[in-house]
A and B are shown apart, each in its own frame.
Chain A
Amino acid sequence: MERLGQVLVQNACRFPDKAAIIEGRMELTHPALLARVSALAGALGDHGARRVAVVLPSGHDVVCAHYATMIAGCEAMLLDARMPPDDLADLLGRFQPAVVITRSPELQPLTDLLGPTVQSVFLLPSVEDACCPRAKSQQAVQHVAWPGAPVWSALRDWGSLDEVALVLCTTGTTGARKLVSLTERNVLAAARNINEFTRIDASAREVTPLPLHRSFGLARARCLSLVGGTLIISPPRGDRALALIAQHQATGFSAVPAFLRMLIGTFGLRLARYFAGLDYMEIGSASMEHGDKLFLIEAAPRARICMHYGSTEASRSTFIEFRSERDKLDTIGRPTPHVNLRVVSEDGTPCSNGEPGEIVVQGEHVCAGYWGDDQLTAARLRQGWLHTSDCGSIDADGYVRLLGRMDDVMNVGGVKVSPERIENVAKSLPGVIDCAAVGGRDSRGIYGEVPLLYVVGDGSTSLSAQRVKSYCAERLLPEEVPHEVLFIDAIPRTDTGKIQRSHLRAQHA
């Protein structure tokens, strides 16, 4: 497998004048990206630290720091500098880095959170440096300067492909954040698999509003680097993303479904003006409304619209292309190239077609484990398979249907009930803006567990709990019909749009 450093060197030679990353007015050519990465990798190599925390706001510096730490053979945790201080303190406390990479504007609020293990702080240049008060820190502060040319010595001593190189925090819908350990092999294999499906090449110019600390956004950067394309970083604002597509005649766009919903809801058919020139889109991280999928097929008439299913632990395990697989849009597609996927029963035996079970995944893209948590690693990675805790089934054509989290699937009198099935039906009732189903205790003691449905209504008087129940009863199995319908102001969701069912269960308990 080609190493990341080799890829960056080749890009610098093949595309000396082409932008690798564009952010605002800054255009970083492939040679300039290589120069920055090698300078930082060199500084890390000279220091000798293995464990490094990167605390930066989303942007091109995150990509540079990620590449540099990987090339220098470090184990790097990427953290969003805008995280709440308590979360930052918790994650830094767990990780105990020897070096922190940040910028002057972020250092001052960060300095009180740095524990005794931190020996040095590497400060990347920032445009705010001139107006920023000189940052004070108890640790040795090393100012990194961006050179005009690569520091070749830094690009020779790469770490092992199979050592942990990247630690990412899961956003998670429940409990404490998990720290996922990834090797260079994992992330490069994932990028290769994704590119094979999306079919991008060196001509790719992609706009993304995705946060670059997270699995999805970071992988987009790597996918583009792998082919020598251009990453155009957008602020997370719909109109600015569209303006960048127009300004740079972008060929690609990547976003989460919630961002696309916001665009579709605000701009409607006007989106076609911006999406008409796209060759591809990548969508993922949460489920998407069927209507939005159909809308994109029309609004982006020549694009391969690729939606993935995956997780930080196994980036992109399945893909579906909306236009060519239109009759399978209710599924999450088929396994990504080079990925093995099965649905297994509780005893680990493969389920038959259509039978629900746990989705398990195998491939070079699957993470090395959970950082600092051998117990969780042993529980989730068994005999080379990642147990995703997602419930699904596979149809006769090999398409995977996602039924929810194993924990979320309800057992109603022995019948497995998927919350997503109930939600999809309820959402088709006029007046229902949003909804979420969870399992609750059957107070009559008959079924053990019964479905509860939380609904956000549009305020119309005709939408009553009884109306919702009757509507569902006409379209669902008796066990799937909500036992109780509760109206609330908003469904709790993560910032990527996933329903936080544990919050609703706690509310009802």
Chain B
Amino acid sequence: MALSQAIESEVIAICREVLDDPGITIESTSATVANWDSLGHMHLIAALEARYAVELDVLEMAEVDCVEMLIGVVWNALQFARGAVGGGS
């Protein structure tokens, strides 16, 4: 499985667990997931940062209102971390 696909699946799994909704898919949005409120969103940030040992960009996260965007922010953070640590290769 490609890295991006693995991350996508894992982020969806984290969303399902944190927001307590097994029906979450990549198309899910904060409007369609009952527990994706302000507190749920903060829990998501904390869970994703702990899992990937990265800091998600707060300004990027502020724009997030769907799982697909969330995956993008996690991907960016991982790329940034790899660049910072490994010289961007």
CB contacts (< 8 Å) of A488 on chain B: these are none
Encoded as 1 (CB less than 8 Å from any A CB) or 0, chain B from 25 to 66 comes to 000000000000011011001100000000100110111100
| Shortest distance between the CB of B18 and any CB in chain A (Å) | 12
Q: Could you tell me the distance between the alpha carbons of A267 and B45 in the complex, rounded to whole angstroms?
A: 9
Q: Contact between A262 and B38 (Cβ–Cβ < 8 Å)?
A: yes
B62 and A266 form a contact (CB under 8 A):
no
Complex contacts, A263 vs chain B, CB 8 Å:
42
Residues of A within 8 A of B55 (CB): 270
Interchain CB contact under 8 A, A266 and B59: no
- Chain A 224-255, CB within 8 Å of chain B: the 1/0 string? 00000000000111111011001000000000
In the bound complex, do residue B58 and residue A262 qualify as a contact, i.e. CB atoms below 8 Å apart?
A: no
The residue in chain B whose Cβ has the minimal distance to the Cβ of A234 is: B62
Alpha-carbon distance between A374 and B59 when the two chains are bound, in angstroms: 51
Which residue from chain A places its CB closest to the CB of B64 in the assembled complex? A239
**Nearest CB in chain A: distance from B35 CB, A:** 14
The answer to whether the Cβ of A265 comes within 8 Å of any Cβ in the partner chain is: yes
Distance in Å: Cβ of A21 to nearest Cβ of chain B:
19
Closest to A209 in B: B38
Closest Cβ of chain A: how far from B40's Cβ, in Å? 10
Contact status of A240 and B46, CB under 8 A, knowing A262-B38, A262-B39: no
- Bound together, the chains give a CA A242 to CA B60 distance in angstroms of 11
Closest to A274 in B: B58
Docked CA distance A242–B61 (Å): 10
B59 and A237 within 8 A (CB): no
Docked-complex contact B46 and A266, CB < 8 angstroms: yes
The answer to whether A236 and B38 have CB atoms under 8 Å apart is: yes
Q: A265-B46, A266-B45, A266-B46 are in contact. Are A243 and B38 (CB under 8 A)?
A: no
Q: Would you give the shortest CB distance from B7 to chain A, in whole angstroms?
A: 20
A242/B39 in contact, CB under 8 A: no
Q: Which among A235, A237, A242 has the highest number of chain B CB atoms within 10 Å?
A: A237
Pairwise interchain contact A270-B38, C-beta atoms closer than 8 A: no
Scan residues 262-280 of chain A and give those whose CB is less than 8 A from a CB of chain B.
Answer: 262-263, 265-267, 270, 274
Q: Which single residue of chain A is at the shortest CB-CB distance from B45?
A: A266
Q: A237's closest neighbor in chain B, by CB?
A: B38
A265 B42 Cβ-Cβ under 8 A: yes
Least CB separation from A236: chain B residue: B38
Q: Is the CB of A238 within 8 A of B59?
A: no
With A and B bound together, what is the CA distance between A242 and B45 in angstroms? 14
A267 touches B58 (CB 8 A): yes
Min CB distance A292 to B, Å, is 15
Please state if B45 and A239 are interface contacts (CB–CB under 8 Å). yes
Tell me which residues across on chain A come within 8 A of B45, comparing CB atoms: 239, 266-267
B42: chain A residues at CB < 8 Å are 237-239, 262-263, 265-266
A270 to B45, CA, bound (A): 13
What separation, in Å, do the CA atoms of A227 and B77 have in the docked complex?
41
Given contacts A265-B46, A270-B55, contact A239 B39 (CB under 8 A): no
Q: Specify which chain B residues have a CB less than 8 angstroms from the CB of A270 in the assembled complex.
A: 55, 58
Interchain nearest-CB distance for B60 vs A (Å)? 9
A239–B41 CB distance below 8 A: yes
Contacts of B38 in A (CB 8 A): 235-238, 262
A278–B55 alpha-carbon span in the complex (Å): 23
Once the chains are docked, how many angstroms separate the CA of A238 from the CA of B62? 8
Contacts of B63 in A (CB 8 A): 243
Docked complex Cα distance between A10 and B72 (Å): 47
In B53-89, the 8 Å CB interface with A consists of 55, 58-59, 61-64
What CA separation (Å) do A263 and B41 show in the bound complex?
Answer: 11
Query: Is A243's CB under 8 angstroms from B62's CB?
Result: yes
**Is the pair B62, A239 in contact by a Cβ cutoff of 8 Å?**
yes
Nearest neighbor of B57 in chain A, beta-carbon distance: A239
C-alpha spacing A242/B58, complex, angstroms: 7
Report yes or no: B46 in contact with A239, Cβ–Cβ below 8 A: no
A491 to chain B, nearest CB (A): 15
Shortest Cβ distance from residue A488 to the other chain B in the assembled complex, whole angstroms: 19
* A237 neighbours in B (Cβ, 8 Å): 38, 41-42, 62
Shortest Cβ distance from A242 into B: residue: B58
Q: How far is the CA of A262 from the CA of B37 in the complex (A)?
A: 12
- Please give, as numbers and ranges, the residues of chain B lying within 8 Å of A239 by CB-CB distance: 41-42, 45, 58-59, 61-62, 64
- Which B residues are CB-close (under 8 A) to A235? 38
Q: Please give 6 more A-B residue pairs, beta carbons under 8 A apart, in addition to A237-B62, A263-B42, A266-B46.
A: A237-B41, A238-B41, A240-B62, A242-B58, A266-B42, A274-B58
Identify the A interface with B (CB < 8 A): 235-240, 242-243, 246, 262-263, 265-267, 270, 274
Q: List 21 A-B pairs, Cβ < 8 Å.
A: A235-B38, A236-B38, A237-B41, A238-B42, A239-B45, A239-B59, A239-B61, A239-B64, A242-B58, A243-B58, A243-B59, A243-B62, A262-B38, A262-B39, A262-B42, A265-B42, A266-B42, A266-B46, A267-B45, A270-B58, A274-B58
Q: State the 9 A-B residue pairs at the shortest beta-carbon distance, nearest first.
A: A243-B62, A239-B62, A239-B61, A237-B38, A266-B42, A240-B62, A236-B38, A243-B59, A262-B42
